[in-house]
Amino acid sequence: MISESALLILELAGIAFIFAGLPLLYLLRKKGMDVFQKLNWAVVFLTFDLILFGAFTRLSDSGLGCPDWPGCYGTSNPLRAMEEIRAAEAAMPTGPVTVFKAWVEMIHRYLAMSVGVLIIIQVVLAFKQIGAQRQLAIQGSLFLLGLVCLQGVFGAWTVTLKLQPIIVSMHLILALILFSSMVWFAQRNDSKTISSKAQDKSLPIAWIAFATIALLIQIFLGAWVSTNYAVLACPDFPTCMGAWYPAMDWQNAFYLWRDLGMAKSGEAIPMTALVTIHWTHRVGAIFASTILLLLAIKAVRHSQASISIWGKAILALLALQIITGISNVVFQWPLVAALLHTGGAAAILFCLVRLSAWSDCSFFSGRDVASQRLS
């Protein structure tokens, strides 16, 4: 007889296959790419959707909508746990468990599982590839599988450790690393990514790498603001608490291993620590934006249209980030602006990885694979 735990896993797997099948069926009907290439890009865009929905889960305080993992009160969906959910909601109407929050959290998990299912299919198809790209396909897909498993562990810890800020922040960073790795892998296996002519005038990989590192650091600072609920710690702009350099508490602000809302001492985190977290993100935005702006201008001025278009995209997304970042403060953290801020950061990362296809480093550009396919 199948145990309740095994039955729960089977039910969740079935739901994940349904979620994974929808984008896959759509792409399989499109022409112009083989099945493996279509699958690669399906995983990319589903992961981007997952990042956005993960942000919505966090911003709507739905992270503990189902306080256990991987199911919801030991079931595969909130409908089967409605009695427990309504009891928790009645006991604390504004608490972490409500019917709405339970559905948000479980849909987020379904999307995450569907990404895992697609990557498993990706691994299977990688072993069926032939030619020069077979080794890359196998190694890349196995790396992505390992990364998504690690991401799943952090997803579980997010719930079991009760939204500990460092865990939630690293969950987002790992999601973006997974996303950028998927973009890189997809374009390396895409015969239409680049041409040998475009590689004659390439971008320095050092510029792209430096900009990517700066962006990831800034994203972590932003995640640290969000997971510590420090968005409104500086209620004014451009100053913070009426000063350019307000009172700071660096020790508690960046003490990583602590519970949500707690300081290093175990007491409630002081307001000065939250101000420090917010102020640091603002300063980081100046440096990251400057670096990205310089790279974008260099790309826009490039003679290759396929390069300049990504520079223009980065410029537009930078403008979006500045507008939404300021809006989060001025308009008291509106949900739409906060979601766009997260999505904009992921989109800039996408542009940087796409630009790497025209870098002067064959490891990032896929010159060896592309040239063989185009010869």
Annotated catalytic residue 105: yes
| DSSP, res 93 | T
CB 95 within 8 A of CB 120: no
Q: Please, which residues bridge with residue 12 across strands?
A: none
Chain centroid to CA 316: 20
Q: Taking a C-beta distance cutoff of 8 angstroms, is the pair 290, 211 a contact?
A: no
Instruction: Look at the alpha carbons of 325, 327, 333, 337 in this order and tell me if their dihedral is positive or negative.
Output: negative
DSSP 111-129: HHHHHHHHHHHHHHHHTT-
**Omega before 334 cis (within 30°)?**
no
Q: Are 303 and 201 in contact (CB under 8 A)?
A: yes
Category of 263 on φ-ψ map: left (φ > 0), alpha (ψ -120 to 50) or beta: beta
Contact by Cβ (8 Å): 11, 76: yes
What's the Cα-to-Cα distance from 234 to each of 105, 202, 230, 251, 285, rounded to whole Å? 29, 42, 8, 18, 15
Token couple for 350: 């996408």
What residues form DSSP beta bridges with 243? Answer: 240
Q: With beta carbons less than 8 A apart as the criterion, state whether 334 and 319 touch.
A: no
Q: Which residues are catalytic?
A: 105
